[in-house]
Structure 1
């Protein structure tokens, strides 16, 4: 039962790293879109007058900027940030509670039944957290993020346990 507890604790930490990487990438994309829109809208008029020969390029830049502005609310990046940040915080808290109890589990202070009860309560808490934040949203699995999260998880447990 100790091994099950340990494996679930590692899984929660890995999931937290994964969500953190997902949020970071969503933030980068959201910021890129905002910067592109700001630069395009503020510099296009000045550039248009300077480079009249290439006006079609600036027209395209303005058009793309307008389309991005119109569809931005439907892109997932900004929306994700609204629920990923509190989701990550709740996951970090869950992990801290599990790590705190791990020492009792590892030291043999708890019976198999008590460990099972503890594990059940954490799985139930995780299920509540997940349904709270992913009720209407879907996170498409990203293998690149998973690999990064696995590396971070391995490093974390290597350095801390």
Structure 2
């Protein structure tokens, strides 16, 4: 029973690490896309004079959208969220590595059920402390696509590593 409990936590940690990694990549792409859009709209103002003559409404709408994005971008918390995700990924990766290293002792029956339970509880506690410290009040919207990808990647990892 305690071996299974530890194994489930090991898998959960791996999914968590991969989820945070996938989520961070997605957030980074959003941030980069916004930056590219803003760079194009701001640097292409000279070329706009030719377009302005024929399509003033279109160009005016693009400029208005870029101004709105520039104004609200600091409120979107992409940079702050990316920093928190990076810190969380590092911390969770270390915790998952410890759990994986200790799996040997669990799987080989070298630890008592009490020792397995205590290590399980320690890992859970480390994970919660890490999330609290790294996220520090930042909420992460759930992303089911990133979660499904993380679950698939974790399954492949455990199949190739342990089975």
Please report the TM-score for the alignment, with normalisation by the length of structure 1.
0.95
Find the counterpart in structure 2 of residue 118 from structure 1. 119
Matched residue, 1:128: 129
Distance 1:140 1:50, change over 3 A: closer
**TM-fit CA distance, 1:4:** 0.4
Whole-Å separation in 1 of the counterparts to 2:133 and 2:144: 24
The answer as to 2:162 corresponding to 1:155 is no
Please list, as runs of the form range in 1=range in 2, the aligned pairs for 1:1-161 lying within 5 A after superposition.
1-161=2-162
Instruction: Give the Cα–Cα distance (whole angstroms) in 2 for the partners of residues 50 and 70 of structure 1.
Output: 25
Structure number with the bigger relative contact order (C-alpha 8 A, sep ≥ 6) is 2
Q: Could you list the per-position Cα deviations for residues 113-137 of structure 1 after superposition, in whole angstroms to 9, with x for gaps in the alignment?
A: 1111111111111110011123311
Return the alpha-carbon distance in structure 1 between the equivalents of residues 82 and 143 of structure 2. Answer: 16
Distance 2:56 2:46 in 1: 10
TM-score, length of structure 2 as denominator length: 0.94
- Structure 1's consecutive aligned runs of 4 or more residues displaced over 4 angstroms after TM superposition are none
Q: 1: CA distance between counterparts of 2:103 and 2:12?
A: 14
2:88 touches 2:134 (CA, 8 Å); kept in 1?
Answer: yes
Higher mean alpha-carbon deviation, 60-69 vs 23-32, is at 60-69
Unaligned runs of 5+ in 1: none
Q: Which runs of 5+ in 2 are unaligned?
A: none
